[in-house]
Amino acid sequence: MSDTTVPTHGSPLWIHANTLHLMAAAAWMSILLGIVVECAVLMTRAAAGASPNLVQTIAEFASSVTWAVIVCTGISLGSAAARHRERIMGLMGLLCAPLAWALAKGVQHGTLAMLDAPVDKLGAAVLQVGVLKTVEYTLLALAVAKLIRRQRSTLAQHFLVGLAIGVVFGAAIVGVNIWHAPGRVMPLARLLGLAVNEIVFPIGCVAVLHFISRLNDLATASEPRTAPEPLPSSQVHAGEAAGENHD
């Protein structure tokens, strides 16, 4: 018989009772992460000599926050699972990454259109980057799930996982963007900003997952343990009768 989400006596829940609080915390952390990463991108571009465009900046902030909230909060939901955590986190990464990428691009283009700014057409590069990000955050979710399973995993270990994945897939995503750029040449400011975004964000996302898993462990440890249910009176009398017969 397959497992169900309905808890029975003595079997753990699929999702702990504190899940909504964890998801709210993950959402706020993700919003902050999206803002911080986009600020880092803007500072990198400014250091490279690029002048910020207000409309484009607003659209990119909206896109960054949308992406961060959906992908990090979605994977965090998997980390709150009490059973089959690794599989659920991997599945959430597989499902949330393409959804987050599509919505982030939709929000960015919608914001530009609303502000009467020119909107670039969605080409093959967007689809290819979306596929790369799907693979990236599926692997990231699986790697973080393995770390969470270790009771003594540290923030530094999560940082290294995010850095490694960010460097590998960041290089691939930068390569795709260069390949599709006019003349296969990207402006230095845009290139550096893209590299910072693709490396810093996975590090921040694994940090969010680390803190959410710790909050989940603390909340689970503080939950009161349910006492064993008393036996029905009929079973008690039957047991007493069996004892008398035995005597």
Higher pLDDT, 92 or 221: 92
What is the per-residue pLDDT across 35-78, written as a single tens digit (0 to 9) for each? 999 999 999 999 999 888 899 999 999 999 999 999 999 999 88
User: Rounded to an integer, what distance in angstroms lies between the CA atom of residue 209 and that of residue 151?
Assistant: 14
Over residues 192-200, the mean pLDDT reads 97
Average pLDDT over residues 106-110: 93
Distance CA 28, CA 33 (A): 9
In this prediction, residue 246 carries a pLDDT of 52
Check: CB of residue 180 under 8 Å from CB of residue 123. yes
The mean pLDDT of 104-125, rounded to a whole number, is 89
Structure tokens at 160: 């290294």
Give SS3 for 81.
Answer: strand
Whether the CB-CB separation of 96 and 71 falls below 8 Å is answered with: yes
Residue 234: per-residue pLDDT: 54
pTM (2 decimals)?
Answer: 0.80
Q: What's the longest Cα–Cα distance across the chain? A: 96
**156 phi and psi angles, rounded to 5 deg:** -65, -40
| Ramachandran quadrant class, 83 (left: phi over 0; alpha: psi -120 to 50; beta: rest) | beta
The three-state secondary structure class of 29 is helix
Q: Are 82 and 14 spatial neighbours (Cβ–Cβ below 8 Å)?
A: yes
Taking all residues of the chain, what is their mean pLDDT, rounded to a whole number?
A: 84
Q: How far apart are CA 209 and CA 73, in angstroms?
A: 8
Identify the three-state secondary structure at position 79.
helix
**2-46 residue pLDDT tens:** 443 434 444 444 455 577 888 889 999 999 999 999 999 999 999
117 pLDDT more than 90: no
Q: How confident is the model at residue 225 (pLDDT cuts 50, 70, 90)?
A: low
| Sequence-distant contacts of 227-232: CB under 8 A, at least 24 apart | 229/9
Taking the mean position of all CA atoms in its chain, how far away is CA 11?
27
Q: Please identify which residue in the block is written with the tokens 């790369």.
A: 132
Residue 209 CB burial class (10 angstroms; 0-12, 13-18, ≥19): buried
